[in-house]
Amino acid sequence: MDVKHLCLGVLCTGDASGYDIKKYFESSFRHFFVAGYGSIYPALSGLLDKGYVDVRQQQQERLPDKKIYNITQLGRDAFQAALEQTVPRHKVRSQFLALMHFAHLLPTDQVLRALDTHINELETLLDILEEGRKTAVQGNYGEDFTREYAVTSTDALLAFVTERRNAILTSNANAKACA
């Protein structure tokens, strides 16, 4: 399950351009897989080379040409096989937590800025997930599962981080009042 396979996954739901696929990543995969053009376009080239997708050029008025990709039967089979062989890993890599782990080495205001930034990111993610709830097709189990999984985690974390941030603010205010 890498960028290539996820592109195949998107194309299983319908034809799309690289640009469309990127938007799909942003709206539906954002909570578990982030990819930019720099990985999506090369991935599509690779899939084309392997015969997993076909492409047709679509001219547009007043806009750049589009390359519409569609998945082949070979591609579907490859995706199915990849799915079946996927080991269900789940990895977090967080500069935010790395920074917080060494918070004692930093001035309080930088720690607060980091917390605020993270809170913003969590809120943005919640907005996107909420948007997904509205637009999701009913009965799509997988999409629902991953979305609600992310909502569960994000809700809990938002409460946690906000509480900790406020605790720092009040203890800071107390320290100032004493001084």
Which residues contribute to the site for a second copy (CB under 8 A)? 1, 5-6, 9, 12, 28-29, 31-34, 79-80, 83-84, 86-106, 110, 114, 117-118, 121, 140-143, 145-146, 148-150, 152-153, 155-157, 159-161, 164
Closest approach, Cβ 36 to DNA, in A, equals: 4
What is the spatial distance between Cα 7 and Cα 117, in angstroms, rounded to a whole number? 30
The owner of tokens 């997904």 is 132
Q: Which residues contact 122 (CB under 8 A, 6 or more apart)?
A: 154, 157, 158, 161
Which token pair is 48? Answer: 């084309």
**Of 65, 84, 109, 163, the one binding DNA by CB under 7 A:** 65
- Give the one residue of 59, 63, 134, 139 binding DNA; rule: CB under 7 A: 63
Output 44 or 115, the one with its CB closest to DNA.
44
Asked if residue 60 binds DNA (CB under 7 A), the reply is yes
Rule CB under 7 A: say whether 36 interacts with DNA: yes
| Interatomic CA distance for residues 18 and 69, integer angstroms | 8
Of these partners, DNA, a second copy, none, which one is at the site of residue 39 (CB under 5 to 8 Å by kind)?
DNA
Report CA-CA distances (Å) from 140 to 85, 136, 154.
22, 8, 21
